[in-house]
A and B are shown apart, each in its own frame.
Chain A
Amino acid sequence: MPRKKILAVDDSQTILLQERAILGPAFDIVTAKTGEDGVGAALAEPPDLVLMDLEMPGISGLEATRRLRAQASTRTTPIILVTSHSEPESLEGAFVHGCTDYVIKPINEDELLLKVRSYLGE
């Protein structure tokens, strides 16, 4: 069975490395460092799941999520917000903009892996 593809969008190389270290053994990981690049990558080759940072240069993770939800190819793709913004307004906004779930930084390996597996139906 082909490995599923995860698009990780974050302006922090450290976070991208961490996500790759946790998920790379089981999934193919594609990365983008801005919201615009993330949207472009997702539309060019739709992933099975997206990990989306909130604050990035250019458009925010919420705007990137909104744009992905507006396209047929990514309308139902699981998008997990990965953020250090734990205040309720940010998390509520994430769901309103179309995020599927959220993970609070610092990333907990078990949490991220289990959530990703669950949303990929594994």
Chain B
Amino acid sequence: MSLEALPELDPSDLQEEGEKDGDEPLARARHHFRGFDRNGVPVVYLLPGELVAVGGDSQRTLTTILGSCVSVCLWDRRGRGGGMNHYLLPRRGPDTPRSGRYGDAAVSLLVSKVLALGADRRDLRAKIFGGAHVLASVPVGGRTLGNENVQVAVAALRDEGVQVVSEDVGGTRGRKLAFNTVDGTALVWRL
């Protein structure tokens, strides 16, 4: 598949809370298009604060770069949709609107968008990545931004009734992540 053959991304591929359906997300989805992976699957790059959800007929490889941020990867094990978020902070302040920037909103937003695209909650599975921290002096499980980001993901997925099948979190190095929305495979490079 060539770049010229790039399929139109559905507007719902890249959308944040509060945005209208249509124009802006589609424009940004094109901006984030990063070619195709070795299997010919379109690659879409996520910036901090963004989330992508696609239906089962719109397979994507979603990539991002994580430091203390966290990405939750979600897919329907029967291939009916999937997606990923990339949030920066565990929870928003009292006057802050819901957005993909905060874990307390980004996880439930992702779940609801994947379900709206045809996934079945009983078949949803999740993987959690990120939450690094550089200070070697911080005890394991200690309170850091990275740890709090991870804990929010675990709690939100439990509340949503979504099973977490694996995680690669914490540590002192950044990560590059690539996630397939249909089969749930994830590749992680430690940076």
Interface residues, chain A, CB within 8 Å of chain B? 76, 78, 86-88, 91-92, 94-96, 99-102, 104, 108, 110-111, 114-115, 117-119, 121
Which residues of A are found within 8 Å of B136, using beta-carbon distances? 76
Verify B63–A88 contact, CB threshold 8 A.
yes
Q: Tell whether, in the assembled complex, residue B47 and residue A114 are in contact, meaning their CB atoms are under 8 Å apart.
A: no
C-alpha spacing A95/B69, complex, angstroms: 14
Q: Which residues of chain A have C-beta atoms less than 8 A from B89's C-beta?
A: 110-111, 114
CB contacts (< 8 Å) of B47 on chain A: these are: 86, 104
4 interchain residue pairs of minimum CB distance: A95-B191, A118-B145, A101-B67, A95-B174
Please report the number of residue pairs spanning A and B whose Cβ atoms sit closer than 8 angstroms.
60
Q: A96-B191, A111-B89, A121-B138 are in contact. Are A91 and B133 (CB under 8 A)?
A: no
- When the two chains form the complex, which single residue of A78, A91, A117 contacts B134, counting CB atoms closer than 8 Å? A78
Residues of A within 8 A of B67 (CB): 95, 100-102
Say what secondary structure dominates the interface of chain A: helix
B134, A101: Cβ atoms closer than 8 Å? yes
Chain B residues with Cβ under 8 A from A78's Cβ?
A: 134-135
Contacts of B65 in A (CB 8 A): 88, 91-92, 95, 102
Q: Bits for B92-127, please: 1 = Cβ < 8 Å to A, else 0.
A: 010010000100000000000000000000000000
Listed by A's residue number, 23 A-B pairs whose Cβ atoms lie within 8 Å are A76-B134, A78-B134, A78-B135, A87-B45, A88-B34, A88-B45, A88-B64, A88-B65, A91-B65, A92-B191, A96-B191, A100-B134, A101-B68, A101-B134, A104-B47, A110-B93, A111-B89, A114-B89, A114-B145, A118-B144, A118-B145, A119-B133, A119-B145
